[in-house]
Homo-oligomer: A and B are copies of this chain.
Amino acid sequence: MREQDNHFHQSEVFSYLPEAERVSLLNEASHKILKKGQYLSHQGDVWPKVILVVSGQLRWVMLAASGKEHLLFNIDEGQSFWAHSVFDDEPMPASLCAGKKTEVLIWDRKTVLKYLRKYPDVMWKTTRMLTRIMRHAREIIYSLAFQPVAGRLAALLLDQYTDSNSDQIERDFTLNDLAVRVAATPEVVCRVLYKFQEDGILEITRASINIQDLEALENAKGE
């Protein structure tokens, strides 16, 4: 087992397949490298694929008619994603776009099903994965319906903070990146960030954001 294949062997559903089958399925994957900003699939396409991000990051982005966009979640290194069309043959409800240079493995539905059909218990694991995504969608709806921008932004910062392990957050994202995640504009995000600084919750420089008062930030998040 090659080291770079670990992500695959430990992935959410496939890890439950017997090893021999896993190896065989891995051999049937096609391989693609995306440049930053390149699209893997477009909203509206019927695209019955299963993917695994080997390195880099994909973004699951919803596009509005007006041209605005809303980033629902990232698919990071090691994570897999089962396209909606796999299950119902309908067009995709959002687009997959590389956030940086990204390497992915791709399988067709029929390839994956060929393996899953033999293992009903593994097949059943896909329902757990879909439920996880539904729960995530629920959180997004909750925060849009009940939380003002400040609350959603606080939640997002706390997310970043838990990923890194210091209370300093590197600013390797733009204000627009944040805005697209909390369904707001860069100007509003900027204003809210400086409001947090005024309240002693954050300290902002051009290179980083420091969390000064974790408890207050949790509080701003609500609940």
For the side of the interface on A, what is the size category? 35 or more
Contact between chains at A142 and B88 (CB < 8 Å): no
Given contacts A68-B146, A84-B134, A90-B135, 17 further A-B contacts (CB under 8 A): A62-B138, A64-B142, A64-B146, A65-B223, A70-B141, A72-B141, A84-B135, A87-B127, A88-B132, A117-B120, A120-B123, A123-B123, A127-B127, A133-B134, A140-B141, A144-B144, A146-B183
Contact between chains at B128 and A127 (CB < 8 Å): no
Contact between chains at B62 and A131 (CB < 8 Å): no
Chain A interface (Cβ within 8 Å of chain B)?
Answer: 62, 64-66, 68, 70, 72, 84, 87-88, 90, 93-94, 117, 120, 123-124, 126-128, 130-135, 137-138, 140-142, 144-146, 183, 222-223
Q: CB-CB < 8 A to A90: which residues of B?
A: 135
- 28 A-B contacts (beta carbon < 8 Å): A62-B141, A62-B145, A64-B142, A64-B146, A65-B223, A66-B146, A70-B141, A70-B145, A72-B141, A84-B134, A84-B135, A87-B128, A87-B130, A87-B131, A88-B131, A88-B132, A88-B135, A90-B135, A117-B120, A120-B120, A130-B130, A130-B131, A133-B134, A140-B141, A141-B144, A144-B145, A145-B183, A146-B183
User: Which residue in B84, B128, B137, B222 is a CB contact (below 8 Å) of A88?
Assistant: B128
